Structure 1
Amino acid sequence: REFTELLDKDFALKNVIIMEVGCGVGNFIFPLIEEGLDVFFIACDISPRAIDILKKNKYFDEKKINAFQIDITTEDIFNRLELNSVDIATLIFVLSAIHPDKFELAVKNIYKLLKPGGLVLFRDYGLYDMAQIRFKSGHKIAENFYMRQDGTRSYYFSIEHASRIFTNQGFKLMTCTYVHRRTVNKKENIDVPRIFVQAKFSKPGPDT
């Protein structure tokens, strides 16, 4: 748990709303629910199939989770949610799958949804991650942007670029660092160094 904000035991008393952008099938939300985090979740994803699977999870409760399909780069999100209504938004390996031309559109929409003082918790692929280095030239779409064999796309961020995307839309930078990890599988004799970018941004409030 790198994001200690998610361990706040007073969330229930504060009526906190957490929005996971690009929730997939709920692999981020459901472990938090299992740990007893008592908040209201908004779970959105561009894939309707992912949302269907999420809703079939035994921990899904429509009283606790508002799950729906949406493209976060469009203004359709505002037909679903009110402005200034979200306390914390998470972007975990999501922005990298969006075309770079739409990064700031997505972040601008999230800014509008967050309450003043609200947080964005961001984690994504870092520049020169081993997965990027292993791409062959034919898979490169644009600078630091690649197409995987399965047709999905991935962008690799520098901490400077990640910070700029958010601060350009009015966010205040709290932290933005590279995180180094290793993917180890002794059975397969795999030991791969990984590089991620992890950051926190806040929407300025009346006191900031």
Structure 2
Amino acid sequence: MSLKGKNETLTTGHYARELKLEDILKLKSQDSKLVSKHVADKLELEARKNWDLFYKRNEDRFFKDRHWTRREFEELVQDGCNGKRMLEVGCGAGNLIYPLLEEGCEMFMYACDLSPRAIDLVKAHVLYSEKNVKAFQTDITTDEVLKEISEESLDIVTLIFVLSSIHPCKFHQVLRVLYRILKPRGVILFRDYGLYDMAQLRFKPGHKIADNLYMRQDGTRSYYFSEEYLAELLVGAGFEIVSNTYIQRRTVNKKDGIDVPRIFIQAKAKKPVVPTT
């Protein structure tokens, strides 16, 4: 990444927005002090513990219910989802599945998370019933999920702000496992952090682990995706891409005087039907 004139901006095809000189300098400063290999390895080993501590501190108060998912993904609208089977990966406290149930979506929903405490929160919800929801703890970077869900048995898998918390070396494994449990024509619905989101630019030196991968204060991690890299991952796992684009939003909190631009990435990918010979 080269610096040009004082007032010039850096632009290339895969950026969702132009980077100003101050943004470029922030990104360069992050490289001055990287997370040590020892700490990075420890974060990987203690990922489950760190997420369990996260839910111990925050319970169900941190993430807002995701009512927006039905506006973004037609597969979750009532007529499109009824009678289907879905898995929410990284379900947290159930902020995606319970709004769907409240709004009348009649499909069977699996919900899994790395944190046992998160699963306890899901099961404590007044709407939890194993007639339409089954929540379980699992590590989605392994094939443990196959103990709970049969291969080619799901219509929908959601990956909403989940893959970014996993080390990039395991991205392909996650997607291949999800490919196995989806039916032909089944879809992955994806949203996560986009490359050069404001949250990425705000990391100080000492928090960067690797390219576009960072450590938060609480020991959890955050990765920032480009369209090209996400497409490469999905195609590499065998999926056909239906859509893949940056989504620009704003985070506004008038009480705290916060109004910042955000960059997310949203995609839909389909498991193809393999012709029989």
3-state DSSP of counterpart to 1:9: helix
Q: Partner of 1:123 in structure 2?
A: 191
Q: Partner of 2:236 in structure 1?
A: 168
Whichever residue aligns with residue 157 of structure 2, its letter is A
Distance in 2 between the 1:9 and 1:75 partners?
Answer: 32
Q: How far is the alpha carbon of 1:8 from its aligned partner? A: 3.9
RMSD: 1.0
Q: Partner of 2:76 in structure 1?
A: 6
> Aligned to 1:82, which of 144, 147, 150?
150
Find out whether 1:132 has 2:200 as its counterpart: yes
Find out whether 1:145 has 2:213 as its counterpart: yes
Report 1:15-54 matches (<5 A): 15-54=83-122
> Aligned to 2:273, which of 202, 205, 208?
205
Q: How many residues align?
A: 205
Structure number with bigger Rg: 2
3-state DSSP of counterpart to 1:176: strand
Structure with greater strand percent: 1
Distance in 1 between the 2:143 and 2:257 partners?
Answer: 46
> Residues 16-37 of structure 1: CA distance to partner in whole angstroms, max 9, x if unpaired?
0011000011000000000000
3-state DSSP of counterpart to 1:50: helix
**Given that residues 74 and 80 in structure 2 are in contact (C-alpha distance below 8 angstroms), is that contact kept between their aligned partners in structure 1?**
no
**Given that residues 162 and 192 in structure 2 are in contact (C-alpha distance below 8 angstroms), is that contact kept between their aligned partners in structure 1?**
yes
Distance in 2 between the 1:151 and 1:3 partners?
Answer: 31
Report 1:56-95 matches (<5 A): 56-95=124-163
**Given that residues 78 and 104 in structure 2 are in contact (C-alpha distance below 8 angstroms), is that contact kept between their aligned partners in structure 1?**
no
Q: Which runs of 4+ in 1 moved over 4 A?
A: none
Whichever residue aligns with residue 102 of structure 1, its letter is K
Alignment identity in percent?
A: 57
Q: How far is the alpha carbon of 1:10 from its aligned partner? A: 5.1
Q: Partner of 1:107 in structure 2?
A: 175
3-state DSSP of counterpart to 2:206: helix
Distance in 2 between the 1:100 and 1:47 partners?
Answer: 19
3-state DSSP of counterpart to 1:137: coil
Gaps of 5+ in 1: none
Find out whether 1:159 has 2:262 as its counterpart: no
> Residues 137-175 of structure 1: CA distance to partner in whole angstroms, max 9, x if unpaired?
210000000001111100000011111111101100110
Distance in 2 between the 1:56 and 1:146 partners?
Answer: 32
Structure with greater helix percent: 2
3-state DSSP of counterpart to 2:72: coil
Distance in 1 between the 2:188 and 2:207 partners?
Answer: 30
> Aligned to 1:98, which of 163, 166, 176?
166
